[in-house]
A and B are shown apart, each in its own frame.
Chain A
Amino acid sequence: MLHLVAALSLGLVLAIPQLGLDSGAWRASYVHLLVLGWATQMIFGVAYWMFPRTEPLDPRAVPWLGWVCFGCLNLGVLVRTLAEPALGGGSVVAIAGAVASAALQLIAVVAFVLIAWSRVRAR
């Protein structure tokens, strides 16, 4: 929900050219706040809740993996939102941030796929 509010607020700011934000540079951040930070994270959360469980006390259940997914996804989207618009300037911090955010987002997806794969099964 926070990502949704942030994305739509950023979209509003980008829609007002007088505010001076470069819409070309910030567009990818806006899109990924919306589709990754909000839509994908909402799907991850609801799927984690409603997909058939392997618990209780199933040794295959790995609860910490869900927190890895949550932490990496949110940190990845946050770092990306700040780093990607600054890539045009060639700053080393922006480049490192963008590469780190790419890795964090990928780790989050891998964690979710590992969680969901075994929980998706025929009745």
Chain B
Amino acid sequence: MPRVSVWLVRASLLHLLSGAILGASYLAWRAAGWLPYAATHRPVHVEQMLVGWLVQLVIGVAWWILPRPEAGVSRRAAALIWLVFVLLNTGVLLVALAATVMPDVLLPGGRAAETAAVALFAALAWNRQRSYRATARRVLV
């Protein structure tokens, strides 16, 4: 597994753990009134579970298992995927912070970072999706 995938997947696991703690706290607060801090942290739970965990895990695993170019992954792509990692996690953290402080500034900033991260990932992964037929033709020629 490429090192950047290790970082992406492990970061996604941390978001899963943190998001699950917040989710369990929120359910305990709704049911029994325990852990009242959780009442204001539902948006953080949703953000961590959907973007921090799910999207980041998919990006990390995709970068690992999608077919590589015959010439190998370029240095530029290998550097830019680290930017995806930084932008995505910065975005999730900013959106999470926006649940408690400066929502007018942090929320758009966080969403912009997340959007830039997934757009960059889409561009980097675009040419790594090929049909079996195209691959077989190259092998035969």
Contacts and interface: CB of A to CB of B under 8 A. Distances in A.
B41 interface: no
Contact of B23 (A105, A112, A116, A117): A105
> For chain A, what secondary structure do more than half of its interface residues adopt (helix, strand, loop), or is it mixed?
helix
Given A106-B21, A116-B9, A120-B10, A99 B31 contact: yes
A117 B10 contact: yes
Nearest to B13: A113
A84 B13 contact: no
Interface range for A:
20 to 34
Nearest to A43: B57
A83 B30 CA distance: 12
A112 B53 CA distance: 13
A19 to B, nearest CB: 25
Contacts of B20: 105-106, 109-110
Contacts of A52: 1
A122 interface: yes
A95 B24 contact: no
Main SS of the interface on chain B? helix
Contacts, number: 65
Contacts of A80: 27
Sort A-B residue pairs by CB-CB distance and give the 9 closest, nearest first. Answer: A98-B31, A102-B24, A109-B20, A102-B27, A106-B24, A122-B3, A120-B9, A95-B31, A113-B13
Interface of A: 35, 39, 43, 52, 80, 83-84, 87, 94-95, 98-99, 101-103, 105-106, 109-110, 112-113, 116-117, 120-123
Given A84-B30, A110-B20, 17 more contacts: A83-B31, A84-B27, A87-B31, A94-B31, A95-B31, A98-B27, A99-B27, A99-B31, A99-B34, A105-B20, A110-B17, A117-B13, A120-B1, A120-B10, A121-B1, A122-B1, A123-B2
Interface of B: 1-3, 5-6, 9-10, 13, 16-17, 20-21, 23-25, 27-28, 30-32, 34, 49, 54, 57
